Amino acid sequence: MSTMEVPRRNWSRSDDETSFSKAHTAGLVRSVIFFGVFVNVLMLTGPLFMLQVYDRVLGSGSQETLVALFALVAGLYALYGVLDYARGRVMARVGVRYFDHLAKRVFTAAIQRDALGTKTGCRHGALGDLEAVRNALSAPGFLALFDLPWTPFFLMAIFVFHPLLGWAALAGGCLLILTTIANQYLTRASQKAAQNEIRAASHFASQSESGADLIHAQGMTQNMAQRWMARQSNAMLKSLSAQDKTGGFTSFAKAFRLFLQSAMLALGAYLVLRGELTGGAMVATSILLGRALAPIEQSLATWAVMQRGFSGKTALRDFLRAEPEHSITTELPAPKAHVSVSGLTVLADPGRPALLRSVSFEIAPGQALGVIGKSGSGKSTLARSVVGLVTPTGGEIRLDGAKLDQYSGEAIGRSIGYLPQDVVLFEGTVAENIAHMTEAPDAAKVVAAAKKARIHDTILKLPKGYDTQLSAGDPCLSGGQKQRIALARALYGNPQLLVLDEPNSALDSDGCDALNAVVAETKQAGGSVIIMTHRPSAISVCDRLLVLENGAMVSHGDRDDVLNSKVRNADNIHRIEKGANQ
């Protein structure tokens, strides 16, 4: 795969928005900590109530004292419930705010990386990693982390009743903490391996769904199913192995905590028999121990979610470091259709030939350049470079005198209309697809672009016209119709430069005539056009030709001169052109 990089575009929020989001999120976390103080203090309600019942109510036989204490406990537990609910909801909103803060940037970075066709690295699952972090922030186990600092205070309270009970509780707490640490380090690798296998199986399934027609037509269904089952089985085995390890630590922690509470109760009873402790204190210390160790046990119980969140945050950090933000400080005016390419070189992976080598040409407003060559000669790489999808290894591309990276992504999209070789239509209406998937398409611009692409009448025949919903692999459109809708999308907003990569690969003769008319109209309006093609009919409207071979430019100049000197079937091409013009 190519190791080329995408130019960094400005997808970040403004500094004011970012500062507000961070400040507001910090305020929410502070409120969680504030609520946590009262929640943990209110956890003393149960032990103190038991202490009073055993030592005061049973000793005095006062029913009025019991009723008063019970009413007070009911009120305190109600307050505890409200505060615990509040901090849980606040943490859920922290997770949502974290997701909202990074979602657009992560999504845009993933799309930009996808544009290169790279299938390796940390790109895969970036949005899943973000979702995992959000789930971890909203999980009960994350709230338990806020309660962990209170564990020493509960243990100190046990020391107040009797030092022997305190030391026993401290030893048990330390063992559970060591269990938690061991769980983290001993299961981290297996959890990560399981997640990677699950992602790989999911990615393979997505690829299979995308190529469902081919798989069925070529009788590949069983083979693909077996491959997917093998991947899925491997993923499940690794996942079960990871769950077994985590489950072992969790079960041990739960069983040991229950044993420790019984052991504390037995030790307390021994001290009561010796007259060193009251019955109320015996029960109260057992309850205090449960409160002290509950955060540790809860963290272990939700450790899979927490560990997925931790690994997701690490993966996101690496992903965003690999895709740093780039801000455009000065917005340039709309460029003229003047393209200058100088010494353009694009390298592939180490050990493979360069995709492009020292390609240079210039296009003035009102001109069309045809780029021809065999498959694999570098035509598509040149097209992707001109529209800013590929950063040159050497040389430069300038639009109206400015390098492409001096324009924002939005400015590039407004100034350059791009029709890729592989046409993709997105889930949305026809109008939305033509209008670059904006939520409020400009109807006049949409219709104008469709008319230029000679697809307006065809769209009107669809069930709901421009409001017809499209989806991937929509059977209601032929390949040629999809290509012309994609051409209309490239024409939306009257861009100054058109870059068309094999634009007539799925067009019939009428479609080719419509394409040539689009190129002629663009030239007449002062725009420029670059066409990558195999078909002779597409270069009949070109003023200049560029011939590529193995990524190198072997000829460039006037169309007729290049045809006569470099193209073997030049006579056939001239005859085709004459026939098209008659």
Cα distance between residue 430 and residue 427, in whole Å: 9
1 pLDDT band, cuts 50/70/90, is very low
Helix, coil or strand: residue 421: coil
Cα distance between residue 323 and residue 319, in whole Å: 6
pLDDT value for 475: 64
**What region does 5 belong to: left with phi over 0, alpha with psi -120 to 50, or beta?**
beta
- One-letter amino acid at 199 equals R
247 has a pLDDT exceeding 50: yes
pLDDT value for 58: 79
Average pLDDT over residues 260-268: 86
The alpha carbon of 403 is separated from its chain's Cα centroid by a whole number of angstroms, namely: 29
pLDDT, tens only, 526-565: 999 999 887 666 777 888 999 998 889 998 889 888 888 7
Question: 534, 559, 529: which is closest to 546 by C-alpha?
Answer: 559
258 has a pLDDT exceeding 90: no
Instruction: Specify the residue for token string 């789930």.
Output: 135
576 pLDDT band, cuts 50/70/90, is very low
| Positive or negative torsion for Cα 485, 489, 495, 496 | negative
pLDDT, tens only, 59-117: 788 888 888 888 998 998 899 888 888 888 888 888 878 787 777 777 777 776 665 54
Q: For 419, list phi and psi in degrees, rounded to 5.
A: -115, 105
pLDDT value for 5: 37
Cα distance between residue 171 and residue 183, in whole Å: 18
Element holding 51 (H helix, E strand): helix 45-52
pLDDT, tens only, 323-361: 666 555 577 888 888 999 999 998 877 667 788 999 999
Average pLDDT over residues 217-235: 76
Point out which residues pair with 500 in neighbouring strands.
Answer: 419, 531
Please state which of the ranges 2-16, 173-187, 315-329 shows the lowest mean pLDDT: 2-16
| Positive or negative torsion for Cα 350, 355, 361, 365 | negative
- Paired sense of beta strands 394-399 and 544-549, if any: unpaired
Max mean pLDDT range (194-198, 368-372, 401-405): 368-372
pLDDT value for 55: 78
**Model's pTM, two decimal places?**
0.66
221 has a pLDDT exceeding 50: yes
HSE-CB of 247 using CA atoms within 13 angstroms: 6
Average pLDDT over residues 8-22: 41
Cα distance between residue 326 and residue 91, in whole Å: 31
pLDDT value for 350: 67
Mention every residue, 6+ apart, whose C-beta is less than 8 A from residue 451. Answer: none
Query: Which tokens belong to 560?
Result: 């007729």
Cα distance between residue 383 and residue 154, in whole Å: 67
Cα distance between residue 330 and residue 61, in whole Å: 83
21 has a pLDDT exceeding 60: no
* More confident site: 368 or 22: 368
Instruction: Specify the residue for token string 């470099």.
Output: 566
pLDDT value for 307: 74
* More confident site: 483 or 195: 483
pLDDT, tens only, 477-525: 888 888 889 899 999 988 989 999 888 776 777 778 888 888 888 899 8
Query: Which tokens belong to 12?
Result: 């970040």
- One-letter amino acid at 375 equals S
